[in-house]
Amino acid sequence: MQSYVYAEKLNVAYQKSIDTAFLEDPVCSIPSEVEELLPKKYVVIVPNQLYVWHPLFVHKEERLIDEFYELLIQKFLDNLVNVLLLPQLYCSKHNDEDYCRYLSRKFSNNVIVFSSNYTSDIQQYVIKKSMFVIGARYHTIVFSINNSVPFACLSYEHKMKNMLELLGVESLNVDINNSFASPDEIIKLIYNGFLNRHIVKNDIEKAREKAKSLAISTFQQLLVSLSIEYYTKK
């Protein structure tokens, strides 16, 4: 959405697009150990260790960020809701699985940490089976919409917020700066969203349909453009 604004201001011709993950509804073989790991009911939380990599957060107090996630996990556990921490990033210096395990250390065996070795299709399956998602990574929210799962988006930059605006579900956006500054207030807001998740289900379905329609339209336009270029050169 922000790119559209830039293009219009600069009078640059452009084709509206959205994340290509919306082109597919993944169907894959689910390993038996994954099925055995998942409780019947659970919420997914995807944390983001922003202070180790993001320029806007490297100078923030690490403990404030860690404590927010710990308090968020504790809120659901206190209400007897199973929590699964889903690493989104892998094969990098700062592996999300390491951070998830760090956050889970004080909760004994009450928090499930999913392995980062599984593909994004299996991650989507885990999200699809969940009751609710709280995500501080962009593709977590893409996967939630793609599987029509209610969520709270902890946005740390415009691409997450703007995608929700484009799809008409901006009310599900939570500025992550507010989360760190006022954790109790924001955690209460998120938990209320969980309790009332059925209310936004229809809005997320509409967002999914809009996203898929836009992704397909953009891809078809790409194919047309490539065909024209190919035959022109030929």
- Model confidence over 3-38: pLDDT tens digits? 889 999 999 998 889 999 999 999 899 999 999 999
Q: Provide the percentage of residues in the chain whose pLDDT is more than 70.
A: 96
Of 130, 185, 189, 178, which is closest to residue 155 (Cα–Cα)? 178
- Position 110 pLDDT exceeds 90: no
pLDDT higher than threshold 90 for residue 143: yes
Q: Are the C-beta atoms of residues 156 and 54 closer than 8 Å to each other?
A: yes
Report residue 163 as tokens. Answer: 């995608």
Q: With 60 as the cut, is the pLDDT of residue 55 above it?
A: yes
Average confidence (pLDDT) over 111-121: 94
Residue 164 has pLDDT above 90, yes or no: yes
Write the pLDDT tens digit of every residue in 187-212. Answer: 999 999 999 999 999 999 999 999 99
Q: Beta-carbon neighbour count of residue 139 at 10 Å?
A: 18
CA of residue 166 relative to chain centroid, distance = 16
Place of tokens 């579900």: 169
The per-residue pLDDT for 90 is 55
Res 144 pLDDT > 90: yes
- Predicted pLDDT of residue 194: 98
In this predicted structure, what is the pLDDT of residue 92? 62
Q: In this prediction, what percent of the chain has a pLDDT beyond 90?
A: 80
Query: What is the average per-residue pLDDT within 130-149?
Result: 97
Query: Which class for 43: exposed (0-12), middle (13-18), buried (19 or more C-beta within 10 A)?
Result: buried
Q: Which residue has the higher pLDDT, 37 or 58?
A: 37
Q: Could you give the CA distance from residue 166 to residue 211 in angstroms, rounded to a whole number?
A: 9
Would you give the end-to-end CA distance of the chain in angstroms?
A: 35
Residue 2 has pLDDT above 80, yes or no: yes
User: Is 90 exceeded by the pLDDT of residue 1?
Assistant: no
Calpha distance 47→215 (Å, rounded): 27
Confidence band of 60 (pLDDT split at 50, 70, 90): confident
The pLDDT, as a whole number, for residue 10 is 96
DSSP code of 116?
T
pLDDT score for 234: 63
Q: Rounded to two decimals, what is the model's pTM?
A: 0.93
pLDDT recorded at residue 228: 78
Rounded to the nearest integer, the mean pLDDT of the chain is 93
Of 56, 57, 194, which Cα lies nearest the Cα of 134?
A: 194
Q: What are phi and psi of 83, to 5 degrees?
A: -120, 130
The number of beta carbons lying within 10 Å of the beta carbon of residue 37 is 14
What is the arithmetic mean of pLDDT over 147-155? 98
